[in-house]
Amino acid sequence: MKTELDTILEALSTCASVLQAALEDEGAPSFRRDDLSHHPWDGGLPGPRGWYARKAIVGLCQRITTLVQDPFERSQIDSAGFALTASLHTVTQCVPPTVAEIVLASGKNGTSLKELAERTELNETKLHYFMEKEGGFMAPTRSTRALLPESYVGDIAGLMNAGIAAASMLKETAKLPSDSRHQWLKENPEELAPFSRAMDTMEKMLDPGLVVDLPIEDFGPNITLVDIGGGVGGLTMQFLKRYPGWKAVLQDQKVVIPQAEAFWRKEAPEIVDAGRVTFLGHSFFEPFPLPPAPEDCPYVFMLKDVIHDWPDDLTTRILKVSREEQHELALKYIRTSCRLRCQDPSS
Ligand SMILES: C[S@@+](CC[C@H](N)C(=O)[O-])C[C@H]1O[C@@H](n2cnc3c(N)ncnc32)[C@H](O)[C@@H]1O
């Protein structure tokens, strides 16, 4: 009789074949752990077969873990998840050259833990956590690149690390009124730059398909995209580069706007100079002071990766304020990363 494990393994084998065929069709190399070059699918946009096969393989591996691992062992490992965050933060933030820089430069033979400890000023015994090769040596793998200083992992790990202290209080804070990490970020402005950098890199990595696949034909060729809580506006920038008739209003908290302006001036000066983007430092909990949109360039509101950050009562406020802005024109929302409950049109 076929067991659940057999079914998963069959699916895994099918997905592996689909993945390999998609790699070959696209002329991309097979994945190899010791291949340190940038793989075209990492942060890129494979065709749908490769995209889904890759996601399915990761999901199926997680299902195998859920199925076969001792539940107590699993809960113990999950409970220690914070250690990984703290460790990622430590190795990405240590004195330069960082752990990843040294390991990557060491080539196939790797570097000894002793040398690594000396150069990074981290204790040798604690570096064992990152050992990837036997015999006290660390050699780079294709994952090591993700720990380089310019990668988003360092920034996001820093933010998550700061969250560990807050999370440890959840038993108490769960009883308090709604809030979000954005209030904390506002009170710790030095954390804003790494947060926005992390958002932009994540966006490039996670959302390349949005620009290509989004059904935007019914918007018409000329719109003004109002990116609510847009961060530095990386996705909006991609849209404006792709669609010359589009303009944008990038809205976020006042503190974020200088960083957004600098980002656009650096990455898309032609769009800034043409006046196709304007910046609005304003809270999305208050009605936005938007001028009436020209008839031939209606507003389209975008809320991307925003409402998942807020509890239901505050999410409702954001949506209500945005809806009040719809008085003059037909508007559309594009939403991703939205909790399922929020897809109920009555919420
Ligand atoms: C998770 S980030 C998403 C950023 C961007 N939409 C993206 O997808 O990369 C949430 C954004 O909401 C912004 N935000 C938080 N509170 C806000 C407020 N009261 N008014 C406007 N923006 C706010 C944050 O500054 C941040 O840029």
CB 224 within 8 A of CB 248: yes
Q: How many angstroms is it from 48 CA to the middle of ligand 1? A: 29
Q: Ligand 1, atom 10: nearest CA belongs to which residue?
A: 306
Q: How many angstroms is it from 114 CA to the middle of ligand 1? A: 43
Q: How many angstroms is it from 57 CA to the middle of ligand 1? A: 32
Does the structure show a pLDDT above 90 at 260? yes
pLDDT at res. 347 = 34
More confident residue, 108 or 243: 243
Which atom of ligand 1 is least distant from the CA of 336?
Answer: 8
Instruction: Please work out whether the CB of residue 233 comes within 6 Å of at least one atom of ligand 1.
Output: no
Instruction: Please work out whether the CB of residue 260 comes within 6 Å of at least one atom of ligand 1.
Output: no
Q: Ligand 1, atom 9: nearest CA belongs to which residue?
A: 199
Pocket test for ligand 1, best of 306, 307, 308, 322 (most atoms within 8 A of CB): 306
**Domain residue extents for the chain:** 4-78, 80-176, 203-343
More confident residue, 23 or 307: 23
* Helical spans, DSSP H, in 227-303: 234-242, 257-267, 269-273
Nearest to 285 by CA among 186, 160, 196: 186
pLDDT at res. 252 = 94
Q: What is the pLDDT of residues 145-175, one digit of tens each?
A: 888 887 777 777 777 787 787 778 878 777 7
Q: Ligand 1, atom 14: nearest CA belongs to which residue?
A: 229
Instruction: Please work out whether the CB of residue 207 comes within 6 Å of at least one atom of ligand 1.
Output: no
Does the structure show a pLDDT above 50 at 290? yes
In terms of CATH architecture, what is 203-343? 3-Layer(aba) Sandwich (3.40)
Strand residue runs (E) in 113-252 = 137-138, 224-228, 247-252
Beta-carbon contacts of 18 under 8 Å, excluding residues fewer than 6 positions away, are 49, 50, 53
